[in-house]
Structures are given as C-alpha cells and as structure tokens.
C-alpha cells in the first residue's frame, strides 16, 4: 500500500523529533516518543501540500522570485500550523496526566520546531522538484527511444528493397518493342509483369516468407529479363529441397540476382550463366548467386546500392547472425547471403 | 519509296545492346523513307567501328552497354556527329542532356517522340552545335577519377588501364599515351587528362609530360635548375622547376 510506504519514509523524522524533544527539550524518552510519532505523521500529511504547490509552480515557466517567495510563505504557514498542533498535543498529553510539565517543555521547543518545520518543508519541496525533473527526463528519454525505434522501423521499410525501377522501365520497353511485331508476346510480358508486381506487393508486407516463394518471384523476374537479354541470359538453379521451406525476409534473393544481371550479364557482350544456389547447413541457410563479370567494364551508376541495402537489412534483422559476402574470383563474381534458419525445413 | 540515294536521306546508326530495343527502333524507322539505317550495333566497340566504316549523319545511342558506354563511344569518335541518346533511367545524364545533346529518348518512347527527335537532329545537321567532345566530357558518368583510357586506332578500340601507363606526352591538341613500350595517340589536351587522373599517382612534371610516379627510377640534375627523370625502363623525361616541386611534394 503506497501510503504505508510514504509514512515509512518519515520514520527517520520521528526519530529525529524524539531526539530533539529528549535532548533539547529535556523530555523523558517515553514522552519524547509520544510527541514525536504523531507529529511526524502530521508533518507527513502537511508535506503532501508541498507536492501540490510544486505542481502549481513548476520550475520552468514561472519567475524564480515568485516561486521562492511562495514556497517560503507556505513553509512558514505549514511550520506554524505544525507547531500549533505540537502545542495542542502537549495540552492533550498534560490533560490525561501522563507526562506532567509537557506543555512547558513543548512551548520551550516551539522555536526549534518552527525552524525544523520550515527546513523540512523546503527540503520536501526540493525533493519534489528533483523527483519531477527525474520523471521528466525519464519520459524524454523514453520519447527519444521511441523516436529511434520508429526511425529504425522506417529505415527498414525503406530498405525493404522494392524491385529496381530500372527493371520496370526495361520491361515497359520490352512491351513497347514487342507490341508491333508480336502482340501475343507483349501480352505475356504485361501479364508476367503484373503477376510479379502483385506478388512483390503481397510478400513485401510480410516479415518473412518461405524461400520457395522468394524463388518463385525470382524466376518470374528472370523470365521477364530473358525477353530483354535473350540468349545473353542463361540461368542454372541448384536449390536443396530442405532449403525451400526455410523462412526468409522477402526480397533477400532478388537483389543478388538483380546485381548479377546489372553488373554481370549486362556488362558482357555475350552475357553468360547466372547460378542460384540455396543450401541449409545446420542452423544456417546460405543463398549464393554467381555470375561472370567483365573486369574492365565501363563505369556504371548505382554500383552496389542494392547489395548494400540488403546487407543493412540483414544486419537490422539478425545482427551478427547474418552475413553478406561478395567476391571476385577470376572472371566470376559471387554474392552470398548467410542467415539463421527459421521455420520448418522438413519438406 | 524515295530513291535510296536521295541526298536528303539521313544515314543513321543505331546502337543498343538489347535485341528487342534494336528491333523496335528498326520497326519504327523502316517506315520512314528519309532514314537509312546503315548499321545496327549491339555494343560500343561495334559502334566505333561502324562509325569509322560508314560515316553516318546521326547516331541513336544507348548509354548503358557492355565494354564501352555511350559516353565513351562519343569520346572515341573524335568528330562531331549529332547524337540522340536512348536510356531507360539515368538522372545523372539527364541534366547534361538538357544542356548539350541533340535530344534524348527515355524508354519506353512513342513513335511521335522518335519522329520529333529525328526532326530536331535534322535541323542540327550542318549547323555548328556543341562539340561532341564537350558533350562527352560534360556527361561522362565516370568523370570521378579516370581508371581506363580509351584509344581508337582506325576502327579498333584499345582500352588501357591507367595503372599500365608510364607517362603521358602532350602533342599539340593530342595526348600520346606511353605504356609498356607502346605509344598511342588520342585527341585530348594534356591539361584535361591531368584533371581526371589520380593526383596521388600521376604528376605533371613538365609542361608536356605527366608521369606515373610508380615508374620513376631516379632524378638527375642536368643543368642548373633543370633535371631529368629516369624511368624504370630507362626512358628519360625533362622535369621543369615547378614539376620538380610538385614531384617532391608528393614523394
């Protein structure tokens, strides 16, 4: 119960008061305790007023002199009230004949009690302001954390790579090229593009999809690119059946394949073979895409952004448990994403 | 059909590495009696060769291609031919197009848009436009630091990695590139070459020479205030006073 905890905080005051009454006022210890315990309790309740006046006079926004004056005045009034109660208590104790001479001793203590009351009240005010400031800074910290979290989420959303816009323009151009000579093929490209975009939208909203679904999207993508690149694009797949059921973030394989086409096949006059591989090894899933490259290819804009985004996404999702490794060996470029296995891999 | 030898017929070369894109252009251009496609090229090497062989009036040029990109093709032509760029998406290049190119087509484009570009090109032929080299230099996407130097020799294209270059020598408005005992000439001013080279590797040691510092073997005092650089293959190059200062700063 909070009020019991609140009163316990004031126990040291009771001890202090008893000490003051016994040592300064010359009260015998039982009398000192009989005075101190009720007075400490009363003061505890009086100090609730300090909390109220702190809320009315927040440190920011009011001028300092007004705040100091108000608190000083309240302190004096509160302390006077308290001393009055002490005297009343003295009279009460005298009346029941328990401690003869107590009224005198209390009145002798009045000055000290007054000073103590003012001091303690002002102390209570300070503690209150401190607690408020701490609470405010805690809330501010929380707000910052919250902001950071939503920024990170936004970042992830942004990084959730959409299909490369180049691809859209290229596909539209394929349609444009086919529509006169081969309308049926143009229709197929339109339908394929529609299917892929739809699937990409659907899957993009999910946190993870089965690798099987990701591979389906990549196949559709490659079909469309074959229209454009013709025989320059050859594809080979080597996917372990156990890997198909693994859960992966959407758009994990796509950037690797896009990269292979853009910087590999696209930079070679005769194109070449793009190999996709997926392999489960214990608790790790490895996705590998290799392609031939021209080491002396002309500079191309946007080199590496897709892969960099993917690397950041994986790092945000899995931290140190994932890796994106790229390398060139002779004329072969390989990009490898290694992630922890999630979900069933039983089929 | 008009007579195929009509003097008004524009000889055109179309360059795109994608077969469907070429097919589309061919299809759209076949209907036009005033255009003659003299060559279709699938890459930059073919384009350079075709221009040398068939002397076209106009180029339709894709930008992203294997081996040589569109800008590099222009750089190698060393003569002014009106160019219509074709690209899917390249903000970087678009800015430069607005300033210099005859026109550009963004894929996908319509027949009307192509006709408009051709009309504009026809208006440009014969009238002095921006020099093609100016165009190539202002739009080159690789204008950061030069990593490879393209030289045309007749219809052959040589690609020289800058690391293989021993030194560059000025020869009027051309640059002679010396690498591994061979030398090739390219239409470019030495100062322009210097701007695009990595300053950590190449130093202008003389009004007429830029040296690959890795090839430097030693420097000898030749006369008062005049030195010669001796390269690892024994070649000797003059070093001017300011050139020596630059060399000392780097080493």
Domains contained in chain A, CATH given:
2-157 (no CATH), 161-340 (3.30.565.10)
User: Are the CB atoms for A285 and A279 separated by under 8 Å?
Assistant: yes
For residue A181, give how far its alpha carbon lies from the nearest alpha carbon of chain B (Å): 8
Of B18, B66, B141, the CB nearest to A267: B66
What Å distances lie between residue B194 and B180, B205, B208, CA to CA?
A: 20, 11, 11
What pLDDT was estimated at residue B63?
A: 85
What pLDDT was estimated at residue B95?
A: 52
User: Are the CB atoms for B204 and B169 separated by under 8 Å?
Assistant: no
- Chain B residues whose CB is inside 8 A of the A178 CB are 20
**CB-CB under 8 Å, A178 with B43:** no
What pLDDT was estimated at residue A216?
A: 95
**Strands A272-281 and A233-239: what pairing?**
parallel
**B185-235 pLDDT, tens digit each:** 998 889 989 988 998 999 999 999 999 999 999 999 888 778 999 999 999
Please say if the pLDDT value at position B139 is more than 70.
no
- What parts of chain A have a pLDDT lower than 70? 1, 61-62, 154-162, 299-303, 343-347
C-alpha A346: how far from chain center: 35
Q: Which residues, in sequence order, are CB contacts of A138 under 8 Å at separation 6+?
A: none
Chain B residues at the A interface, defined by Cβ less than 8 Å, are: 17-21, 23-24, 27, 42-45, 64-69, 72, 88-90, 92, 106-109, 141-142, 144, 147-148, 159, 161
CA distance A265 to A273: 8
CA distance A47 to B223: 97
Please say if the pLDDT value at position B1 is more than 50.
no
Question: Among A208, A239, A223, A185, which residue's Cα sits nearest to residue A313?
Answer: A208
**CB-CB under 8 Å, B69 with A298:** yes
Positive or negative, the CA dihedral A103, A104, A109, A110 is positive
Q: Kindly identify which residue of chain A lies nearest to residue B142, measuring between CA atoms.
A: A299
Q: Which domains does chain B have, with CATH numbers?
A: 10-139 (3.40.50.2300), 148-250 (2.40.50.1020)
- Chain B residues whose CB is inside 8 A of the A297 CB are 66-67
The residue with greater pLDDT, A281 or B132, is: A281
CA distance B117 to B138: 21
Question: Among B53, B18, B14, B17, which residue's Cα sits nearest to residue B32?
Answer: B14
What ipTM, to 2 d.p.? 0.74
- Residue A26 is encoded by which pair of tokens? 């010359």
What pLDDT was estimated at residue B3?
A: 45
**Percent of chain B beyond pLDDT 90?**
49
- Chain A residues whose CB is inside 8 A of the B19 CB are 230
Backbone angles phi, psi at A111, to 5 degrees: -60, -50
Q: Kindly identify which residue of chain B lies nearest to residue A270, measuring between CA atoms.
A: B66
| Element containing residue B158 per DSSP (H, E) | strand B156-161
**B58-78 pLDDT, tens digit each:** 999 988 888 888 888 888 887
**CB-CB under 8 Å, A268 with B108:** no
**B153-197 pLDDT, tens digit each:** 888 889 899 999 999 999 998 999 999 989 999 988 899 899 889
Q: Kindly identify which residue of chain A lies nearest to residue B91, measuring between CA atoms.
A: A301
Q: Kindly identify which residue of chain A lies nearest to residue B158, measuring between CA atoms.
A: A296
| Element containing residue A268 per DSSP (H, E) | none
For residue B205, give how far its alpha carbon lies from the nearest alpha carbon of chain A (Å): 29
Peptide bond into A251 cis (omega under 30): no
CA distance A224 to B155: 35
**CB-CB under 8 Å, B20 with A173:** yes
∠ CA B123-B124-B130, nearest 5°, is 160
**B23-51 pLDDT, tens digit each:** 999 999 998 999 999 999 999 999 999 99
What pLDDT was estimated at residue B39?
A: 96
- Band of pLDDT at residue B93, cut at 50, 70 and 90: low
């Amino acid at each position: 119960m909070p009020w019991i905890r609140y009163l316990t905080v004031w126990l040291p005051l009771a001890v202090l008061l008893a000490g003051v009454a016994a040592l300064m006022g010359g009260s015998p210890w039982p009398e000192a305790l009989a005075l101190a315990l009720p007075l400490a309790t009363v003061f505890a309740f009086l100090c609730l007023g300090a909390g109220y006046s702190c809320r009315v006079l927040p440190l920011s926004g009011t001028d300092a002199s007004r705040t100091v004056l108000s608190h000083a005045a309240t302190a004096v009034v509160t302390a006077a009230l308290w001393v009055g109660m002490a005297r009343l208590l003295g009279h009460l104790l005298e009346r029941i004949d328990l401690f003869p001479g107590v009224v005198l001793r209390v009145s002798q203590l009045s000055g000290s009690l007054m000073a103590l009351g003012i001091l303690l009240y002002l102390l209570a005010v300070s503690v209150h302001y401190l607690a408020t400031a701490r609470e405010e800074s805690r809330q501010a910290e929380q707000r910052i954390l919250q902001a950071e979290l939503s920024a990170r989420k936004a970042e992830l959303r942004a990084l959730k790579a959409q299909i490369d816009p180049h691809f859209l323009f290229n596909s539209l151009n394929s349609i444009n090229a086919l529509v006169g000579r081969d309308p049926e093929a143009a229709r197929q490209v339109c339908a394929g593009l529609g299917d892929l975009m739809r699937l990409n939208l659907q899957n993009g909203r999910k946190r993870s999809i089965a690798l099987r679904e990701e591979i389906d999207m990549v196949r559709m993508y490659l079909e469309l690119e074959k229209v454009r690149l013709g025989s320059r694009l050859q594809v080979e797949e080597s996917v372990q059946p156990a890997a198909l059921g693994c859960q992966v973030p959407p758009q994990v394989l796509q950037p690797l394949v896009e990269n292979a086409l853009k910087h590999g096949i696209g930079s070679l006059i005769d194109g070449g073979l793009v190999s996709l591989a997926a392999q489960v090894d214990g608790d790790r899933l490895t996705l590998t895409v290799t392609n031939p490259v021209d080491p002396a290819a002309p500079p191309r804009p946007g080199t590496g952004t897709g892969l960099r985004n993917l690397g950041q996404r994986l790092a945000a999702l899995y931290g140190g448990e994932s890796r994106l490794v790229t390398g060139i060996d002779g004329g072969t470029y390989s990009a490898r994403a290694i992630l922890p296995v999630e979900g069933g891999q039983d089929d | 059909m008009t007579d195929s030898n009509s003097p008004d017929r524009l000889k055109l070369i179309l360059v795109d590495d994608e077969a469907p894109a070429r097919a589309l252009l061919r299809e759209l251009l076949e209907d036009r009696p005033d255009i003659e496609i003299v060559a279709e090229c699938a890459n930059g090497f073919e384009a350079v060769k075709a221009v040398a062989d068939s002397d076209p009036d106009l180029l339709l040029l894709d930008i992203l291609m294997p081996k040589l990109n569109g800008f590099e093709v222009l750089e190698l032509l060393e003569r002014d031919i009106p160019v219509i760029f074709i690209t899917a998406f390249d903000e970087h290049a678009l800015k430069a197009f607005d300033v210099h190119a005859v026109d550009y087509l963004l894929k996908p484009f319509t027949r009307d848009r192509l006709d408009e570009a051709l009309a504009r090109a026809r208006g440009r032929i014969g009238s002095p436009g921006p020099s093609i080299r100016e165009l190539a230099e202002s739009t080159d996407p690789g204008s950061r630091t030069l990593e490879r130097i393209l030289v045309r020799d007749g219809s052959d294209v040589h690609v020289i990695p800058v690391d293989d270059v021993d030194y560059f020598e000025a020869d009027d408005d051309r640059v002679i590139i010396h690498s591994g005992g061979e030398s090739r000439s390219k239409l470019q001013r030495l100062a322009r070459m210097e701007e695009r080279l990595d300053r950590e590797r190449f130093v202008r040691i003389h009004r007429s020479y830029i040296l690959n510092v890795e090839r430097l073997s030693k420097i000898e005092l030749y006369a008062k205030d005049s030195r010669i650089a001796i390269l690892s293959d024994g070649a000797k190059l003059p070093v001017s006073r300011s050139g020596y200062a630059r060399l000392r700063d780097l080493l």
